[in-house]
Each structure stands twice: as structure tokens, then as C-alpha cells.
Amino acid sequence: MPGIGEKGRRGSCPRPQADAGQPAAPSNIKVFVGDIEDPASLDKAVKGCEGVYHLAAFTGIWTRDKQQFHKVNVIGTDNVLAAAVRAGVKRIVVTSTAGVMGPSPGEGVLVDEASDSANYFATDYEITKRESEKLAFGYLSKGLDVMVVNPSRVYGPGLLKETNSVTRLVKLYREGKWRFIPGNGNSRGNYVYIDDVVHGHLLAMEKGLPGERYILGGDNISYNGLFGLIKKLTGKNYRLFHLPLGLMLLFARIQVLMADWFGRKPLIVPALVKKYTRDWNLSSRKAQTHLGYTITPIAEGLKKTLDWIVDQDSEGTQL
């Protein structure tokens, strides 16, 4: 992961064969062809390592195989942890999501690591990530120091996949291809710049306490506020339409039906629409206090993201 070279570290990284076309890894990273569903390949990757970062997950919003979330996010995590124990690894940082802590319980209330989301999970991804956290902490009794980090909505330079949806949104708005805001635009979310997430992982490995989890978040801001910043930074004042959530929910249900019938991935699912009705205000104070974690202000992070998009577009790079 980026940042390891800055610290003078060496590491290994399992990569699926399908990802072989990705940019070459830094010289201090040894790449293994592997899969978290293949324990033998994990044994090769973690051999000789003192610490492991487990970031692999199935993050999609829909899949025809309903067990895929569990197979990758829960069983796959178990495979990684078991391989770490077999190899005598000392510490492991497991990447989860801040979504497992649930939405804000009230207006202006910040969610932290102690928040209880037992009665609310929006997606299968969040359900299985919460299950994987519990499984991971079970390995403390096996002598493995386990720390969990919980990033919020990550944005910044990187491949424009589902997990980089905020950056995709910035790019689409700049091109005049994004014209709506969910609901009235007042619901709030937490947005974290990619470099902060990378540094948060490194800090958790260095300073994190076994059995603890740390929110790696950024600024809390409404959709209206977010798009206001994007307009200002791009210098483009496209008209945006507030799309009623009821209409979005109907569209999402139709999308899922089409996906189930024809296997075409939906653009959105009902569970995500329902998230737009809630506030997701987070506090990263624990990571800031205990790890020395720092936050890039969202205006600065979006400016860096936009600069990167402009550079890539000028070079003709396919994002």
C-alpha cells in the first residue's frame, strides 16, 4: 500500500490473477498471485512477515451469488487470520468500515467506536464486515495482536471503482454528467481523503492497542455542502436537481429486479437509498488522540482530487 516505502519498510501483497494489469508495485513490495479464499496462497504471502494489513473485501452493492459477501468478508478474513497465526505474525490490522457503527442516533450526534449499531445495518457488506470484526477479535486469544480500522467514505486519486464513488462523482460533475442530489440534500456523511486512510493504517500497526478499533474519518458535511464545494472548486455551476427519495427507492427496486432477472449490475439498491435518509456524522477523536491520526480538510482533499482528475484527463489516461 502507498506509504510503506516512505517508512522504509518492505512487504508482500497477494493480488488476484485478474488484477495483474494494475500498475506495478513499488520495488520494496513483493507481489504474490493469490486469493483470500485460497489458504495456501496466503501462507506464501505472509511467510516471514511481522505484521499484516488485511484490506481485501467484497464491496459490491449487489451480486447474483448471495453468499459472496460472507465467503469473502467473513470466511476470507478467517483464512487471512489463520495464515497469520500459522506464520507467527505478531500484529494484524483488519480494515472494516465505519458503516458498522450505524447512523447518528440524533441530530448533530457524533458516532464513535463505542456506538451500538445492533439494530441497524444498511447493506450486506456492513453486516458481513461487522461479523468479520467479531471473528478477528476472537484471534486475540491465539496470541495475535488484532487492531481494526474503520474508514468512512473514502475519496481521492485511484481506480474509479464502486469503492471510489465520491471521486467518480467529482469527475462526472466536472464533465456535466451528474445533475442530482439525494433527497433535500441535508443528510450528512463523513468523507476521508485516501492519504489519511493510508497513514491511519500505518499508525494503527505502529501504535494501535490489540482489541481496539479506530475510526479513520474526515469532515462531516451534507450533500448540499459537498456539492457546493465541488461547484466552487470546478468553477462550474451546473444546475442540480433534488431527487425525491421515494422516486429513488422505486428506481432502485426496479434496478434490483432487472439485475435478478438479467444479471446486469444495478446502479443503486434500496439499502443505499435508505442510507440517504440518515445522518452519518463520525468522530475520529480516538484515532487522533491515541494514534496521532490527522485529517485533511475536505476542501483541500477535494482540490487535490480534482487536480489529479484534470491531470489524468490531460494525459488521456483511462480512469
pLDDT tens-digit series, residues 10-31: 556 666 655 544 666 677 777 8
pLDDT averaged over the chain? Answer: 89
pLDDT at 2 over 60: no
pLDDT at 272 over 80: yes
pLDDT of residue 20: 46
Please give the residue range of the domain that contains residue 189. Answer: 5-305
Q: Answer whether residue 319 is part of any domain.
A: no
pLDDT of residue 24: 67
Per-residue pLDDT tens over the stretch 171-190: 999 999 999 999 999 999 99
| Grid coordinates given for 168 | 467518480
Fill in the DSSP letter of residue 18. Answer: G
pLDDT at 97 over 70: yes
Name the more confident of 5 and 62.
Answer: 62
pLDDT of residue 178: 93
Calpha distance 258→167 (Å, rounded): 27
Calpha distance 117→99 (Å, rounded): 9
Q: What number of CA atoms fall less than 13 Å from residue 42's CA on the CB side?
A: 22
Torsion angles phi and psi, residue 174, rounded to 5: -55, -35
Fill in the DSSP letter of residue 154. Answer: E
- Looking at residue 38, its amino acid is D
Cβ burial, residue 19 (10 Å; 0-12/13-18/19+)? exposed
What's the pTM value of the predicted model, to 2 decimals? Answer: 0.91
Calpha distance 12→46 (Å, rounded): 7
| Grid coordinates given for 125 | 457488506
SS3 8: coil
pLDDT of residue 318: 63
Q: Which residue has the cell 439485475?
A: 259
Considering its fold, how many domains does the chain have in total?
1
pLDDT-above-90 percentage for the chain: 70
Q: Answer whether residue 260 is part of any domain.
A: yes
pLDDT of residue 267: 83
Q: Answer whether residue 316 is part of any domain.
A: no
Fill in the DSSP letter of residue 259. Answer: H
Confidence of residue 93 (pLDDT cuts 50, 70, 90): very high
Q: Answer whether residue 310 is part of any domain.
A: no
pLDDT of residue 157: 94
Q: Answer whether residue 137 is part of any domain.
A: yes
> Checking DSSP bridges between strand 91-95 and strand 153-155, what pairing results, if any?
unpaired
Per-residue pLDDT tens over the stretch 132-172: 999 999 999 999 999 999 999 999 998 887 778 899 999 99
Residue 181 is part of a domain; what is its CATH number? 3.40.50.720
Q: Burial letters for 298-318: b for 16+ Cβ neighbours within 10 Å, e otherwise?
A: beebbebbbebbeeeeeeeee
Calpha distance 218→300 (Å, rounded): 11
* Strand intervals (E) in the chain: 11-15, 29-33, 51-54, 91-95, 145-151, 153-155, 180-182, 188-193, 213-216, 219-222, 241-243
Q: Answer whether residue 317 is part of any domain.
A: no
Confidence of residue 96 (pLDDT cuts 50, 70, 90): very high
Q: Answer whether residue 311 is part of any domain.
A: no
Mean pLDDT of 284-301: 98
Calpha distance 103→42 (Å, rounded): 35
The whole-angstrom distance between residue 108's C-alpha and the CA centroid of its chain comes to 23
Mean pLDDT of 234-249: 94
Per-residue pLDDT tens over the stretch 188-216: 999 999 999 999 999 999 999 999 999 99
